[in-house]
Amino acid sequence: MRMFLALELPSTVVDYLTGVMKSLAERVDGVRWVKNEGIHITTKFLGEVEESKITAMHEALKPLGEMYSPIPAALDKIDALPNKRRARVIVVTLGQGVEAMERIFFEVEERLDAVMEIEREERAYLPHITLGRRKVPKPFPNGDVPDIQRKEFMVEHLVLFKSTLTSGGAIYTPLWKIKLGGQG
C-alpha cells in the first residue's frame, strides 16, 4: 500500500483553505487543486509499505503522543515550490509551529528506521500545506495572489494515511492516529 504520515488540521482551517483555493482557482490556471480530505501537513511520505508493517509502525511512533504536546501553529502566506519562477506545487507556509514539526519529522525518521527500511529525506524538511499541483511548472503570479489570514490553530494528531491513486485524484484513508499530548 502507498502510505504517508501527516499532521492533521482542524476542520476550521481546512474550510478556510478550501475558500482560498476557490479564490486562487479563478486567478491561476493549470493547477489540480487538492480535495478537502487532502489538506494536511505531510510529515513523511513512505511510498509502498507492506500491510504487515502498519502495526509495527504504530508501536514505534506511539510514544510521540506522550513526547510531544499539541503544536500551536499559524498560517503564513501562499507560496510555490520549488520557487515562484518554476512553480509546480502551490502551498501555504507556516508562520508558527515549524520547529516542533521538524523535531517530529526527525523523530519519525529515526523510529521508523528501527522497524523498517525507509528512504531518508535528502532535502531539508519544510512543513507546509499543499493546495495544488501543476504537471508543467510555470511562473506563479505575485501581484494577483490574495493575502491569507494568519489563522492560529492547534495540531493535535499524527495520522498514517493510505493513498490510493485514481484517475480522479488520490483518495486518502486514515489508518490510525496518534494524539499529541495524550494516548495514541
Give the pLDDT confidence of 131-155 residue by residue, as tens digits. 999 999 988 875 567 789 999 999 9
158 domain residue, yes or no:
yes
Give yes or no for a contact between 134 and 88, defined as CB atoms under 8 angstroms apart.
Answer: yes
| Paired strand residues for 129 | 41, 92
Alpha helices in 2-97 (DSSP H): 11-25, 54-61, 64-67
54 domain residue, yes or no:
yes
Residues 6+ positions from 23 with CB-CB distance below 8 Å: 146
147 domain residue, yes or no:
yes
CA distances from 86 to 43, 79, 105 (A): 24, 12, 26
The total of structural domains in the chain comes to 1
CA distances from 4 to 1, 18, 129 (A): 10, 22, 14
pLDDT of residue 184: 41
Using one digit for the tens of pLDDT, what is the confidence trace for 77-100?
Answer: 999 999 989 999 999 999 999 999
CATH of residue 8's domain is: 3.90.1140.10
137 domain residue, yes or no:
yes
> Measured in Å, how far apart are the chain's first and last C-alpha atoms?
22
Pairing between strand 169-179 and 71-81?
Answer: unpaired
81 domain residue, yes or no:
yes
pTM over 0.85: yes
Residues 6+ positions from 37 with CB-CB distance below 8 Å: 171, 172
161 domain residue, yes or no:
yes
The series of mean pLDDT values per 10 residues for the chain, 184 residues long, is: 96 97 88 93 94 94 96 96 92 96 96 85 90 90 76 97 87 95 58
184 domain residue, yes or no:
no
Residue 98 DSSP label: H
The boundaries of the domain holding residue 109 are 2-179
